[in-house]
């Protein structure tokens, strides 16, 4: 990785989306847009059309209760089916006649049909038997579920089975990337996903998980060597290394780190975790680690106001976010409330007019309230975000989604939301919130020509950057507002 930095460039603070959590954030990387456009509202949300919970969390017991079969169908078919409402890089690239490859990336929708095979260890579980096809790029690997072949027809090396997360771990991804490069078979666009650092960081924290990064570095070295060496690869290939979110350490004392949302909102009748509405329910909590979205079955300003008040009674709750019309029906825009005050903001339709400010990518916003709420500073017609980078665009980017909960809530650093049946990452690390610790990722780029990254890089700029290198038009350019 250091050699790539020396051959190219690195941006140390690329800003992810909100919620800064894997299903939504990986989708933003591969589509170039926010949840309001791509439709993936986090790791857990309520799908009103189906009247069911979409759940892509890492909690074994919730998955087990819902049934592995349903989880697999949801992951393989729905996440990359009608839940996803924006085109992926794989689709956009292959529509031009070019080729694309996906190695274990979670969001893979493409133009080619691939048969799904379930590992034997899973077929014995109740409700799991599944046959069908998924739509992906011409080369698609989904561990043991979809086994790819090189363009020459040779099966790619995989390290599958139960101890390798059914082929979805780093060892499998690294081996497949090495095989593609050894044959000179990289597609015009290849996306390789290394997820072990996230799993390990959740358990032990980001610093103790650095050995995982070392192993990925070694796998990349082996892949580049198989392709003739790093210098040879960079003669005609651009390489991007990034992540979908940051990691915030979670305190080891559960009494301090776990925020029990069911207890905070005990005054309201709550839907059961990962279950649809019952008639008497008032609210539904969909946890997203250091963020959560709260749905109201019958939204009313008085109920919403009481929910926000109850949430903010706990000093470990950082802020609550909602569309302003939820509590003030005639209002427009978005409202943030926290221990430091209340702030409302909205896009300025007439551009940068008197009283409005421009963010880092040039979007004009008008705002009112206490700037300390979001720790913003304004001067000379510009707004600067400190603890919550690019906050206006990121908040609007999820609250504009019709599937999002009426109220979002975020936790202070060191803390994570806990609900019955869930499993917090006490003593490890977590993410999902607006805070800088959850939000920054490095971006390393190198290739056959000098690369200039935007001063204010965002994860939604990765897709248009790839398209720019491939000479393919995309509805967004690098650095443009969303």
pLDDT higher at 227 or 482 = 227
| pLDDT tens digit sequence for 435-460 | 999 999 999 999 999 988 999 999 99
Here the tokens at position 71 are 């989880």
Tokens for 442?
Answer: 């490095």
Residue 61 has pLDDT above 70, yes or no: no
Domain boundaries, the chain: 2-247+441-470, 254-430
Averaged pLDDT for residues 465-480: 96
pLDDT at 67 over 60: no
Domain 2-247+441-470 top-level CATH class: alpha beta
Give the residue with greater pLDDT, 226 vs 482: 226
Q: How far apart are CA 297 and CA 283, in angstroms?
A: 6
User: What number is the average pLDDT over the span 160-171?
Assistant: 70
Rounded to an integer, the average pLDDT of 181-197 is 94
Ranges 75-84, 90-99, 208-217, 263-272: which has the least confidence: 75-84
pLDDT above 80 (res 355): no
Looking at residue 88, its pLDDT comes to: 98
Contact 144, 117 (CB under 8 A): yes
Cβ partners under 8 Å of residue 475, min gap 6: none
The confidence band for 68, taking pLDDT boundaries of 50, 70 and 90, is low
d(CA 256, CA 316): 8
Q: What is the pLDDT of residue 64?
A: 46
DSSP, collapsed to helix, strand or coil, labels residue 311 as: helix
Burial zone of 455 (CB within 10 Å; 0-12 exposed, 13-18 middle, 19+ buried):
exposed
Mean pLDDT of the chain: 90
pLDDT at position 60: 46
């Amino acid at each position: 990785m250091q050699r790539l930095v020396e051959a190219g460039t690195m941006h140390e603070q690329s800003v992810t989306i909100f919620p800064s959590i894997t299903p939504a954030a990986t989708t933003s990387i591969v589509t170039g847009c926010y949840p309001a456009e791509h439709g993936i509202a986090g790791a857990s949300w309520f799908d009103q059309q189906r009247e069911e919970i979409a759940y892509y969390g890492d909690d074994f017991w919730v998955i087990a209760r819902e049934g592995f079969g349903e989880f697999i169908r949801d992951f393989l078919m729905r996440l990359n089916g009608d839940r996803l409402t924006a085109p992926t890089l794989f689709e956009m690239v292959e529509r031009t006649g070019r080729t694309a490859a996906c190695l274990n990336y979670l969001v893979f929708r493409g133009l080619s049909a691939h048969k799904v095979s379930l590992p034997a260890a899973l077929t014995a579980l109740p409700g799991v038997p599944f046959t069908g096809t998924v739509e992906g790029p011409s080369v698609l690997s989904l561990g043991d579920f979809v086994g790819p072949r090189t363009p020459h027809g040779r099966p790619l090396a995989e390290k599958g089975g139960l101890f390798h997360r059914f082929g979805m771990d780093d060892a499998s991804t690294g081996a497949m990337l090495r095989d593609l490069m050894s044959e000179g078979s990289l597609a015009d666009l290849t996306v390789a996903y290394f997820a072990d650092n996230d799993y390990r960081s959740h358990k032990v924290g980001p610093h103790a998980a650095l050995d995982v990064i070392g192993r990925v570095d070694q796998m990349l070295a082996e892949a580049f060597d198989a392709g003739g060496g790093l210098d040879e690869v960079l003669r005609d290939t651009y390489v991007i290394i990034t992540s979908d979110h940051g990691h915030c350490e979670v305190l080891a004392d559960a009494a301090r780190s776990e925020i029990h949302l069911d207890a905070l909102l005990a005054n309201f009748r709550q839907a059961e975790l990962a279950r649809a509405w019952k008639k008497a329910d008032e609210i539904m909590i969909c946890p997203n680690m250091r963020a959560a979205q709260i749905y109201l079955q019958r939204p009313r300003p008085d109920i919403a106001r009481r929910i926000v008040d109850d949430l903010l009674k706990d000093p470990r709750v950082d802020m609550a976010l909602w569309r302003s019309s939820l509590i003030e029906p005639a209002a427009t825009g978005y409202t943030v409330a926290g221990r430091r005050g209340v702030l409302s903001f909205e896009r300025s339709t007439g551009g940068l007019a008197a009283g409005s400010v421009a963010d880092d990518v040039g979007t004009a916003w008008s705002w009112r309230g206490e700037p300390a709420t979001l720790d913003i500073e304004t001067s000379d017609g510009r707004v600067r975000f400190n603890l919550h980078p690019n906050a206006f665009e990121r908040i609007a980017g999820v609250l504009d989604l019709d599937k999002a909960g009426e109220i979002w809530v975020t936790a202070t650093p060191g803390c994570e939301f806990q609900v019955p049946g869930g499993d917090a990452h006490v003593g490890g690390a977590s993410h999902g919130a607006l805070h800088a610790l959850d939000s920054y990722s490095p971006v390393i780029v190198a290739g056959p020509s000098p690369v200039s990254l935007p001063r204010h890089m965002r994860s939604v700029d990765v897709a248009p950057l790839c398209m720019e290198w491939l000479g393919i038009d995309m509805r967004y350019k690098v650095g443009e507002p969303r």
